[in-house]
């Protein structure tokens, strides 16, 4: 057992290289390619993305069809409140939750399975992994968000056109609203990614994300109005959703102002994530 | 093992693992306590200790996954995170479970390879090397423990590393797999690589390793060659069966010789070899029925060595289950 493997020491160094000498440094670009392959090699990525797109389009079509159907018997007051872009994009209420889960899972899936240790030993500087995941997610979510927003819009308007109550992209603020809805979905997902890094557990990450998106606004509404008017518009989901409305509600931020406020939350989330990832044991 | 690319292996002596006064605390629990050791290239070094001794923690610190509370670990001359091509420096098998269960073996390895520009061909190569070709496209979640270990070994070999760090690689392997790992590790070491393998099984290490680092409760207990350990293990005890046990005892007992009575006609003699006992008995005309040199097993010696350092002992009152903290 001791002598039958008589390979001379350093024999490996003498073996003829079979591949030309290449540069084997870990680079941001290479980590990005790795993360891209990681994303597309999980079945859950496809399922969650499909659910996001279907939620966005399905509900847009459903609400548009129901509205078109009910239009002839609708009361005047209801008709006054009708806004065709918003009806066709209403699916974002569901889609934001699904894409948020996708964002959280992108990170917590690695912590839950132990994969994070493999990832961090392959890229021990760690931050390239954080940035790569953010970039991969942004690209994927942006495409999925915009495609589903525009499809939902066009399908919805086609259904509404039976009652001649549709709108078009060239109408004021419509293009911004449709595009902004896809952008909002991307940002919600990114917030999920940042929370995933911070919290590391799937259940905790999803609960926190839903809490920020859904519970905080409800709590803020319970505050005295003199307080809530200074808080409510700046909450993450309220700020971000200003971009998804043709005319934001009174008291809410202007569309792009809201967008930038939402961006600040996400940047803050990623700064916290980067600090924690560097500092904590993997 | 053929190298991946024209990778320049560091000069002899450069590829080693050096832990200097490394300590790791989790809250008020000290997992690794002021550990200093060097793992040299060219031989398999076994890292032994009971469960919870701090082996896995030490290995995670080698890989920069856990930061030491104090002290430091370098591998091939630098801290792990300072290497620009880490997978080429150190190949690691941490736990069988450092893999996303939803991903296939192939894509798991490919995603690691891509981070450092290792070609796809190498991924297929290591898959063949560990014998996972038939299942490479299946989700890792359905793998047996043994298949998971083979995948971990494949990941460790991916970058053709100068140093290998393997945490309990034989866990879950069948006898054929254990033999395969043993041969592989020795071959890797024979190529001049540094091979550091943890285990809680002394018998396994005796067959695989040439050098041993033994820890218990996070502290260094021994740093010695397997040969020295084996010698340490063979406390020279001879079992003697004789109808005149009392007379023989009086005959033999002395300053360096102790005699224990096991049965009325059976003695255990320490400090004399069987030849000396036989001659003494013959001279005094004491009839001997049996004269057997007894060697303590390696496991016994290991347990003796680590006796005071066993983290979780099963006793009658509190049956503490095997929390392996390490």
Q: What is the 3-state secondary structure (H, E, C) of chain B?
A: CCCCCCCCCCCCCCCCEEEEEEEEEECCEEEEEEEEEEECCCCEEEEECCCCCCHHHHHHHHCCCCCCCEEEEEECCECHHHCCCHHHHEEEECCCCCCCCCCEHHHHHHHHHHCCCCCHHHHHHHHHHCCCHHHCCCEHHHCCHHHHHHHHHHHHHCCCCCEEEEECCCCCCCHHHHHHHHHHHHHHHHCCCEEEEEECCHHHHHHHCCEEEEEECCEEEEEEEHHHHHHHHCCCEEEEECCCHHHHHHHHCCCCCEEEEEECCEEEEECCCHHHHHHHHHHCCCCCCEEEEECCCHHHHHHHHHHHHCCCCCCCCCCCCCCCCC
Q: Is residue B254 part of a domain?
A: yes
Residues B189 and B268 in one domain: no
Please state the domain count of chain A: 1
| Nearest CA among A121, A151, A53 for reference residue B81 | A121
Residues B67 and B91 in one domain: yes
CB contact under 8 A, A24 and B7: yes
Indicate whether A6 pLDDT > 80: no
Q: Is residue B4 part of a domain?
A: no
CB contact under 8 A, A6 and B190: yes
Residues B22 and B151 in one domain: yes
Q: Is residue A258 part of a domain?
A: yes
CB contact under 8 A, A121 and B81: no
CB contact under 8 A, A26 and B85: yes
Indicate whether B312 pLDDT > 70: no
Residues B190 and B161 in one domain: yes
Interface residue of A3, A8, A12 to substitute, partner B, most B CBs within 10 Å: A12
Residues B190 and B169 in one domain: yes
Residues B103 and B226 in one domain: yes
Domain that holds residue A124: 42-279
b/e A165-203 (16+ beta carbons within 10 angstroms → b): bbbeeeeeebebbbbbbbbbbbbbbbbbbbbbbbbbebe
- Angstrom distances, CA of residue B190 to CA of A8, A189, A242, B89, B205: 6, 50, 66, 17, 16
Asked which of B207, B232, B257 is the last residue of a domain, the reply is: B232
Q: What residues of chain A lie within 8 A of the CB of B60, using their CB?
A: 117, 281-282
ipTM of the complex: 0.88
Find residues 84-113 of chain B whose CB sits inside 8 Å of chain A.
Answer: 84-88, 90, 92, 94-95, 97-104, 107-108, 110-112
CB contact under 8 A, B66 and A281: yes
Kind and range of the H or E run holding A149: helix A127-160
B29–A contact, CB cutoff 8 A: no
Q: Is residue B7 part of a domain?
A: no
pLDDT at residue A3, as a whole number: 39
SS3 A201: coil
Residues B253 and B275 in one domain: yes
Interface residue of B62, B87, B113, B114 to substitute, partner A, most A CBs within 10 Å: B114
Q: Is residue A8 part of a domain?
A: no
pTM of the model: 0.84
Residues pairing with B290 in the sheet: B241
SS3 A245: coil
Residues B204 and B269 in one domain: no
Residues B177 and B289 in one domain: no
Closest B-chain CA to A113: B100
- Measured distance CA(A158)–CA(B170) in Å, rounded: 64
pLDDT tens per residue across span B234-275 = 666 788 899 988 888 888 888 778 888 888 888 888 888 888
Å from A256 to nearest chain B CA?
Answer: 37
Å from B122 to nearest chain A CA?
Answer: 10
Q: What residues of chain B lie within 8 A of the CB of A12, using their CB?
A: 1-3, 9, 160, 191-193
B284: CATH: 3.30.70
Q: Is residue A75 part of a domain?
A: yes
CB-closest option in B1, B12, B63 to A12: B1
B160 near B4, Cβ under 8 Å? yes
Residues B260 and B245 in one domain: yes
A211–B contact, CB cutoff 8 A: no
Residues B180 and B243 in one domain: no
Domain that holds residue B66: 17-232
Residues B131 and B269 in one domain: no
Asked which of B213, B232, B251 is the last residue of a domain, the reply is: B232
B105: CATH: 3.40.50.300
A21–B contact, CB cutoff 8 A: yes
**What distance, in Å, lies between the first and last C-alpha atoms of chain A?**
38
Å from A281 to nearest chain B CA?
Answer: 4
Asked which of B190, B209, B232 is the last residue of a domain, the reply is: B232
Q: What is the mean pLDDT of residues B202-215?
A: 90
Q: What residues of chain B lie within 8 A of the CB of A31, using their CB?
A: 115
Sign of CA dihedral B28, A203, A271, B94: positive
Q: What is the mean pLDDT of residues B293-301?
A: 73
Q: What is the mean pLDDT of residues A185-191?
A: 98
- Angstrom distances, CA of residue B323 to CA of B50, B55, B316: 12, 14, 17
Q: What is the mean pLDDT of residues B187-212?
A: 91
A99 near A142, Cβ under 8 Å? no
Q: What would the two tokens of residue B232 be?
A: 């340490």
Q: Is residue B309 part of a domain?
A: no
Please state the domain count of chain B: 2
b/e A22-60 (16+ beta carbons within 10 angstroms → b): eebebeeebbbbbbbbbbebbeebeebbebbbebbbbbb
Q: Are strands B194-199 and B44-48 parallel, antiparallel or unpaired?
A: parallel
Indicate whether A8 pLDDT > 50: no
pLDDT tens per residue across span A209-265 = 999 999 999 999 889 988 888 999 999 999 999 999 998 888 899 999 999 999 999
pLDDT at residue B317, as a whole number: 39
Q: How far is CA A1 from the centre of its chain?
A: 57
Residues pairing with B32 in the sheet: B24
């Amino acid at each position: 057992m001791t002598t039958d493997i008589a390979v001379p020491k350093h024999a490996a160094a003498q073996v003829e290289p079979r591949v030309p000498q290449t540069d084997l440094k870990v680079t941001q670009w290479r980590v990005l390619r790795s993360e891209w392959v990681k994303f597309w090699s999980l079945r859950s990525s496809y399922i969650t993305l499909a659910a996001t797109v279907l939620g966005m389009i399905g509900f847009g079509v459903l609400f548009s069809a129901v509205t078109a159907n009910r239009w002839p018997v609708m009361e005047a007051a209801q008709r006054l409140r009708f806004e065709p872009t918003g009806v066709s994009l209403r699916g974002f209420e569901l889609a934001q939750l699904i894409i948020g889960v996708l964002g959280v899972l992108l990170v917590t899936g690695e912590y839950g399975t132990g994969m994070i240790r493999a990832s961090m030993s392959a890229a021990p500087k760690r931050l390239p992994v954080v940035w790569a995941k953010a970039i991969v997610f942004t690209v994927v979510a942006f495409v999925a968000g915009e495609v589903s927003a525009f499809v939902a819009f066009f399908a919805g308007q086609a259904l509404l056109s039976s009652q001649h109550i549709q709108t078009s992209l060239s109408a004021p603020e419509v293009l911004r609203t449709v595009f902004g809805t896809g952008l909002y979905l991307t940002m919600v997902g990114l917030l999920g990614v940042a929370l995933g890094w911070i919290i590391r557990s799937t259940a905790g990450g999803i609960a926190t994300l839903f809490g920020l998106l859904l519970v905080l606004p409800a709590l803020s509404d319970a505050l005295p109005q003199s307080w809530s008017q200074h808080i409510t518009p700046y909450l993450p989901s309220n700020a971000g959703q200003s971009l998804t409305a043709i005319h934001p509600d009174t008291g809410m931020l202007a569309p792009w102002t809201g967008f930038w406020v939402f961006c600040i939350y996400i940047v803050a989330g990623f700064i916290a994530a980067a600090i924690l990832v560097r500092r904590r044991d993997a | 093992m053929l190298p991946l690319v024209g990778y320049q292996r560091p000069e002899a002596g450069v590829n080693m693992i050096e832990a200097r006064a490394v300590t790791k605390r989790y809250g008020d629990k000290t997992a690794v306590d002021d550990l200093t050791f060097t793992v040299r290239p060219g031989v398999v070094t076994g890292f032994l200790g009971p469960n919870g001794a701090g082996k896995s923690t030490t290995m995670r610190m080698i890989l920069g996954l856990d930061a030491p509370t104090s002290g430091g670990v370098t591998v091939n001359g630098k801290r792990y995170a300072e290497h620009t091509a880490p997978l080429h420096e150190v190949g690691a098998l941490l736990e069988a479970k450092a893999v996303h269960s939803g991903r296939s073996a192939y894509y798991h390895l490919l995603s690691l390879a891509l981070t450092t520009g290792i070609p796809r061909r190498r991924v297929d190569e290591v898959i063949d090397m560990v014998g996972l070709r038939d299942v490479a496209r299946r989700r890792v979640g359905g793998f047996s423990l043994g298949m998971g270990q083979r995948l971990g070994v494949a990941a460790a070999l991916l970058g053709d590393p100068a140093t290998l760090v393997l945490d309990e690689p034989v866990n879950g392997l069948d006898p054929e797999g254990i033999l395969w790992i043993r041969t592989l590790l020795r071959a890797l070491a024979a190529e001049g690589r540094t091979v550091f393998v943890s285990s809680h099984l002394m018998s396994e290490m005796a067959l695989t390793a040439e050098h041993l680092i033994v820890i218990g409760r996070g502290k260094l207990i021994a740093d010695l060659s397997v040969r020295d350990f084996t010698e340490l293990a063979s406390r020279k005890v001879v079992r003697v069966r004789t109808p005149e046990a009392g007379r023989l005892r009086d005959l033999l007992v002395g300053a360096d010789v102790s005699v224990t009575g096991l049965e009325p006609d059976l003695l255990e003699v320490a400090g004399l070899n069987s030849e000396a006992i036989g001659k003494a008995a013959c001279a005094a005309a004491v009839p001997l029925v049996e004269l057997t040199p007894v060697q303590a097993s390696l496991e016994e010696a290991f347990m003796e060595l680590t006796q005071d350092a066993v983290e979780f002992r099963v006793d009658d009152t509190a049956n503490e289950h095997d929390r392996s903290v390490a």
